[in-house]
Structure 1
Amino acid sequence: MGAKRYLPGTAAALAVMLSGHSAVPQQNQRPVTTNFLGVPGLIDTPSAEMQPDGTLTTSVHAFDNGTTRTALTFQIAPRVQGVFRYATIDDLLIVNGERERTYDRSFDLRLQLLKETARRPAVTVGLQDFGGTGIYSSEYIVATKTLGDFTVSGGIGWGRLGTENGFSNPFGLGDRPEFEGGTGGDFEADQWFRGDAALFGGVAWRATDKLTFKAEYSSDAYEQEVEAGIVDRKTSVNLGLDYEYSPRLRLQAAYRFGSDIGIGLVYALNPKQAPAGGGTDVVPEPVLVRPSRNVAPELWLTEWLTNPRSGPVIEDSLTRALEAAGLELHSYRVSADEAQIRFFNPTYESQAQAIGRAARAATRSLPASVETLVLVPLNSRSQPGAAVVLRRSDVEAIENRPDGADEILAVAGIVDAQTLSREGLVLAPGAYPRFDWGLGPYVSISTFDPDNPLRIDLGAQLSARFEPTPGLVFSGAIRQRLIGNRDESTRESNSVLPRVRSESNLFAKTDEPFIPYLTAEYFFRPGRNLYGRLSAGLLERQFGGVSAELLWKPATGPLALGVEVNHVRQRDFDMRFGFQDLDATTGYVSAYYNHGGGYHSTLHVGQYLAGDQGATYELSRRFANGWELGAYATKTNVSSEEFGEGSFDKGIKITIPTSFLTGQPSRGERNTVIQPILRDGGARLRLQNRLYGLVSDQSGPELTEDWGRFWR
């Protein structure tokens, strides 16, 4: 196979995000504006509104008292919203007898109990800063009603939202413990809805299609900030405005408590909606309908089976048809009435779309007598997953029907490809060895260093992958940092655990070329519903060693189970071929479940890099176009005190498909993990090719969820 040149998706993703290219909100839908904490609301107070399902909002707010807030808000479900917030506050907390700048990380969760109707308001209950240090800790119940161009909100709050003109707890709950700072991370559920409560409310007036004025009465007394001299709170009334610069970008300003000015930017996109301008998929070739046996009986004869020249002709025709469809032939077997076609999909995010294209290609390249089509997509490591079995006559009859995708799914068979006979399969010429290489830029980002919350390195990466036989893969990369500031971090680890992650900044100090990974791997199918992986080498930037994994993933079921074992040693900080003395054995038993509707959950139970034992739970939402957003939390037998700041490992995962950003069909993606704090407890090995991520889109539940793209 010839060499392929490409640029990694990082550069394209960065360019598109900076240019503002993203999803366009639905038309004729009243926009939901956010407050200065990043949630739907007025200025300091929340509303009961929810954003359109799937909306991802990034907001940045700055105040003239030196406080800044950045929030990432995700509409997890139509009535459920989650928020991650990062704030810097000058001179808030006293450390070693002096007030210092505070860097605060917090999480919110909002649940809409009632949707707004013509006769009743929307009602939402919220937990604010329930998993952080508690600086912004509040709970509230709020109602919102739209009256023409006015949106009126009112509610009752606890915690910070219960500090101005408060009254006794209406639920009769006990006192709320005093705020003491702390390392954060604990949920502190015993504080929720406790202590004094207070009322808040306000109104938003949509003066024009783009301009909204806001006024509120805030029940947040800003007690900590007033005590620290950061805020001069003269009134409980705040005023603000919100301007829609574009369907994606909003500008905000506020005058708070009679003394403070704040400004903000709010950027929203929705992964459920196509990028501006739509996609640019090549229009597929139509299905070639065979003439009936009565009209052209000679085309249905099977003498071609005994003609030695027919094989190369069919192979060439099938290869060309698949290439025209953006696919690559791996192997095939053709009998008088059945064809098994195994192929790679290097083009489409959706495997269902690739299968649809392969079905069209088969109708245009196979003899008329072939009625059964067995289509087997392979993943990037040559592993087959589910096979889709179709009748050619169904493909011919259903292509142009209004409900064609549903109809073809109803008559399709989905089976484990491992159960298919491989006798007689012909390997396509040039299928192996496979060689790919790429030269392009890379971006490496670290966040939430208290000395500099955002550090970025830019450089060049040369990568290559060689697969001499099916499943045996040698791959690696070499990088050279060109510019950046990640090497300027001077933070020293104070961890009492083996320092498996807390010294990550030391791996960013080299100015010489370094090797992020260099591995030999073998991927195989040991049996029905089973997948296997063996890996050895420099497995990631900080560890090298050996890894083995076995995954049970039925072709038609929502549940998958896996086991993984690793023995690794920590690499030298220059990330070349040397190692340090720290070694670790880790292992997990894992369960994966597809809940339907794009929601997936994962549970890992086992031993982590620092030798601690516990479990990791992850919940994510995957969209049909390849976007995925999720959150995870890990709890082990390491105490909050031993873990240090943050109390336990947690984070947010975001996957952005290249096709969404560029409008071009692609299976490329950019993966980002946002961790509020990087410590040693609950740390896992960062393997590139864990099996579930490789094979999940080849199984029945994932295929059927995305089956609407079959005819695209």
Structure 2
Amino acid sequence: MTIRRTLATGCCTAMLAVGAVATPAGAEFERPPMNLYGVTGAIDMPTALEQPEGELSGTVAQFGNITRGTLSFQALPWLQGSFRYSQFSGLRLLNNPGYEDYFDRSFDVSVRLLSETRWRPALKLGLQDLAGTGISSGEYLVATKTFGGTLALSAGLGWGRLGSYNPAFSTGTRDPIDNGRGGNFNVDQWFRGDAAPFASAIWQATPRLSLMAEYSSDAYDLETGNGTLASQRIIDRDSPLNFGAVYRVNDAVTVGGYYLYGSELGVSLTFQGNPNRPPVQGQVIRAPGPVAPRPPRASAPEKWIETWAARPTAQTTLLGALERDLAGSGIDVESLQVQGPNTVEVRIRNQRYGMAPQAIGRTARALSRTMPSSVETFRIVPSSNGLPLSAIVMRRSDLEALVLEPDASAQLFAATGFADPPARDPRASLSPSVFPRFDWSVGPYVRRVLFEPEEPLRLDVGVRAQATYEPRPGLVFSGSVTKRIAGNLSDSVRQSNSVLPRVRTNFNLYNEQGDPALEKLTGAYYFKPGDNLYGRVTVGYLERMFGGLSTELLWKPVGSRLALGAELNYVHQRDFDTQFGFQDYSVATGHLSAYYKLPEKFHVQLDVGRYLAGDVGATLSLHREFANGWRIGVFATKTDVSAEEFGEGSFDKGITLEIPVGQFLGRPSRTTAATTLRPITRDGGARLEVDGRLYDRVRDYHRPDMQDGWGTVWR
């Protein structure tokens, strides 16, 4: 046994026993460093420390001829997931000789098995590159103990490439990597083969500066030319010892510098954000008007008379008063109906507030100021494109009694009813200022293609003009056109090699020929066909690549966490110039969908059906939603297309990210910035991209989701 192996084994043994040292319980790093792999760690090795829940980190790291870009998300206090895109400059793999540089995509996941206590270190299990080509695959168990909140000592065991230097023992045979098409789970390799120890120390010298030292168990056989796949040496590795320092510039940016393996210099740049730590603290917003209490019936009986409800002009008069009260508030009144002297129903459209209860609360306050004293029940029906989403029933006396209570939000929620909204009564008074409605806008757009081997990032920027016309509730005509100003999407030389109908992989031809482009031109009808049912029919040029007919039906009780949906589409592929013509390819596609809201604000969705290329299968999606509107999720699709037919990546998968723009503007807004990151775009598992799908717009105003944000009802 070499001196280095003895040293490493001793460090590991000491760390596993370090729990016997009495240190203050709960002493921990608030936001520990991200390592060069873009996960929570020291320099090149992981630790058992954790980021704050909800932390979203983007890290770009480089040393030698290796560059890594990683997006990591702390989904739960004990669970971190990562997606990485790596460039190995000059690495010519023997099984991939066509490229001078090698690009690799990989996914990681780590799970904390034990939390740190006064006597026990934290323990984490991790899988690195668990579903990629296997070039960076490795598994680990690591323990970390913190001292005084400024020192963290870690030691662990690694397998795969993390067990390639001075292994201490073996846990069986680890079969050679079969890259195939990439993207498959290498389950038969997990925790198999040689296991080697690693260790690290992190000292937080100041609140901003951390210094680190590390013993690495990665031999970098591939990159040093010692592996069986590589024909080129792109780094030197003379020592297992690494040293580094990271400096937190501000709350969002951290930079790092490193000396690695006795031969290489490295740098890193990390950007971090968190839904629970918004970039702009607080919002500039007009305070809501007060709740107007009614005078006691005994002292002002004339204000409680009910004969007003029989007047022919009562509805239109009250509608006008409510519209004037809500003018400039971001809440549009669609209609109002007097349902007797004690009840009014108002249908509203929330144009501003990302938190739905905030719009409901402000509407209820306005009703208390504008309705006659005899009106006790407010039925507030939020709508989207004229589609009623729910009926929220409040007693006026509850508003008056609870407005100044310390737990007013909880008490009001307990007293509020949620019901399935009926179709609009034809006797209701429609607002002349809402229908017919015409909206238009002109603004910038960004279109990007990621992870092409020739050039990992391609993008276009340009101008998009769009308009919407609603002649009556539920009927919406909309369209958009784009004109590119600058970019390099049309420069792509990659040609599709797909054996499936090329429903997505000819994107470069749309980018090349479609400028200017008729992006969309549709007519849509939204309606309620029955109790707990919501419907949509859309026809026209539905997206850049397809046009035709799309229909959808959703079953969603207002108090249920479960929803079921069905979508059926018949579409033709559009010409590459994205004008008015179509190609010969057409397909019937559709899905049956199940949606369920899990605890901890997780949402799961399962879609089963037929995709654009004619393949049949299922998509499973899981995303975490935060109270302020951030949504981060993952999805995977498996169909009857084999990995060989699908091509590179083996099956469709990716990450979705949606961030409310209001978090950066410092004022409420319903606009969100959304993106989907796919390791690669292929034709298998491709789904139609049509606007107006029902589930997300409906559930926001149903009881389970309203409860999550109900604390804003008084704001």
2: CA distance, partners of 1:274 / 1:97: 46
Q: Does residue 472 in structure 1 map to residue 470 in structure 2?
A: no
Deviations 1:394-436 (A, max 9, x none): 0111112111111100111111112x77263221223311111
Deviations 1:5-60 (A, max 9, x none): xxxxxxxxxxxxxxxxxxxxxxx973211100011111110001111111100011
Deviations 1:147-202 (A, max 9, x none): 12211011111001100011333xxx420012344331001111110111010011
1: CA distance, partners of 2:314 / 2:107: 65
Deviations 1:258-298 (A, max 9, x none): 11111010110001233323211211111111111122222
1: CA distance, partners of 2:314 / 2:160: 79
Task: Tell whether the 8 Å contact from 2:140 to 2:162 is kept in structure 1 after alignment.
Answer: yes
* Counterpart in the other structure of 1:184: 182
* Counterpart in the other structure of 2:690: 687
Identify the structure with bigger relative contact order (alpha carbons < 8 Å, sequence gap 6+). 1
Compared with structure 1, are the counterparts of its residues 306 and 561 closer, same or farther at alpha carbon in structure 2 (3 Å cutoff)? closer
Shift, 1:587, TM fit = 1.3
Q: Does residue 358 in structure 1 map to residue 363 in structure 2?
A: yes
Deviations 1:625-661 (A, max 9, x none): 2111110000011111111110000011111112112
Q: Does residue 59 in structure 1 map to residue 54 in structure 2?
A: no
* Counterpart in the other structure of 1:78: 77
* Counterpart in the other structure of 2:564: 561
Shift, 1:623, TM fit = 1.4
Shift, 1:387, TM fit = 1.0
* Counterpart in the other structure of 2:151: 150
Give the one of 336, 340, 343 matched to 2:341.
Answer: 336
* Counterpart in the other structure of 1:368: 373
SS in 1 for 2:89: strand
1: CA distance, partners of 2:379 / 2:599: 26
Identity within the alignment, %? 47
Task: Tell whether the 8 Å contact from 1:596 to 1:705 is kept in structure 2 after alignment.
Answer: no
Deviations 1:304-339 (A, max 9, x none): 234445444322211112225321111111231111
Shift, 1:622, TM fit = 1.2
Give the one of 485, 490, 495 matched to 2:493.
Answer: 490
Alignment of 1:123-142 (within 5 A): 123-142=123-142
What letter is aligned with 1:127?
L
* Counterpart in the other structure of 1:105: 105
2: CA distance, partners of 1:315 / 1:493: 58
What letter is aligned with 2:570?
H
Structure 2 residues without counterparts, runs of 5 or longer: 1-27, 226-231
Compared with structure 1, are the counterparts of its residues 231 and 99 closer, same or farther at alpha carbon in structure 2 (3 Å cutoff)? farther
What letter is aligned with 1:637?
D
Task: Tell whether the 8 Å contact from 2:315 to 2:336 is kept in structure 1 after alignment.
Answer: no
Dislocated runs of 4+, deviation >6 Å: none
Compared with structure 1, are the counterparts of its residues 310 and 565 closer, same or farther at alpha carbon in structure 2 (3 Å cutoff)? closer
2: CA distance, partners of 1:215 / 1:423: 74
Shift, 1:249, TM fit = 0.6
2: CA distance, partners of 1:98 / 1:426: 69
Shift, 1:507, TM fit = 0.8
Shift, 1:96, TM fit = 6.1
Give the one of 242, 251, 264 matched to 2:255.
Answer: 251
Shift, 1:230, TM fit = 1.1
1: CA distance, partners of 2:420 / 2:285: 29
SS in 1 for 2:669: coil
Deviations 1:550-574 (A, max 9, x none): 1111111011111111111111111
Shift, 1:711, TM fit = 0.9
* Counterpart in the other structure of 1:292: 296
Q: CA RMSD in A?
A: 1.5
More displaced, 505-514 or 546-555? 505-514
Task: Tell whether the 8 Å contact from 2:390 to 2:419 is kept in structure 1 after alignment.
Answer: yes
Deviations 1:459-488 (A, max 9, x none): 111100111121111110111001111111
What letter is aligned with 2:65?
G
* Counterpart in the other structure of 1:510: 513
More displaced, 674-683 or 653-662? 653-662
Task: Tell whether the 8 Å contact from 1:351 to 1:377 is kept in structure 2 after alignment.
Answer: no
More displaced, 675-684 or 179-188? 179-188
* Counterpart in the other structure of 1:17: none
What letter is aligned with 2:401?
A
SS in 2 for 1:57: strand
* Counterpart in the other structure of 2:275: 271
1: CA distance, partners of 2:650 / 2:97: 24
Compared with structure 1, are the counterparts of its residues 648 and 560 closer, same or farther at alpha carbon in structure 2 (3 Å cutoff)? same
More displaced, 323-332 or 71-80? 323-332
SS in 1 for 2:664: helix
Deviations 1:437-474 (A, max 9, x none): 01111111111111111111111111001111211111
How many residues end up aligned between the 2 structures? 679
Q: Does residue 587 in structure 1 map to residue 590 in structure 2?
A: yes
2: CA distance, partners of 1:247 / 1:661: 14
What letter is aligned with 2:326?
L
SS in 2 for 1:656: strand
2: CA distance, partners of 1:367 / 1:311: 12
Q: Does residue 234 in structure 1 map to residue 232 in structure 2?
A: no
* Counterpart in the other structure of 1:422: 425
SS in 2 for 1:123: strand
More displaced, 487-496 or 699-708? 699-708
What letter is aligned with 1:131?
A
1: CA distance, partners of 2:178 / 2:88: 16
Give the one of 453, 456, 463 matched to 1:453.
Answer: 456
1: CA distance, partners of 2:125 / 2:380: 49
Task: Tell whether the 8 Å contact from 1:597 to 1:705 is kept in structure 2 after alignment.
Answer: no
* Counterpart in the other structure of 1:604: 607
2: CA distance, partners of 1:603 / 1:143: 36
What letter is aligned with 1:166?
P
Compared with structure 1, are the counterparts of its residues 306 and 636 closer, same or farther at alpha carbon in structure 2 (3 Å cutoff)? closer
More displaced, 509-518 or 625-634? 509-518
Shift, 1:224, TM fit = 0.5
1: CA distance, partners of 2:33 / 2:483: 43
* Counterpart in the other structure of 1:621: 624
Compared with structure 1, are the counterparts of its residues 97 and 270 closer, same or farther at alpha carbon in structure 2 (3 Å cutoff)? closer
Deviations 1:229-281 (A, max 9, x none): 11211000001110011111100111110111110101100012333232112
* Counterpart in the other structure of 1:392: 396
Q: Does residue 653 in structure 1 map to residue 656 in structure 2?
A: yes
Structure 1 residues without counterparts, runs of 5 or longer: 1-27
Task: Tell whether the 8 Å contact from 1:325 to 1:358 is kept in structure 2 after alignment.
Answer: no
Compared with structure 1, are the counterparts of its residues 460 and 204 closer, same or farther at alpha carbon in structure 2 (3 Å cutoff)? same
* Counterpart in the other structure of 2:8: none
2: CA distance, partners of 1:311 / 1:98: 74
More displaced, 99-108 or 635-644? 99-108
What letter is aligned with 1:242?
V
Q: Does residue 348 in structure 1 map to residue 353 in structure 2?
A: yes
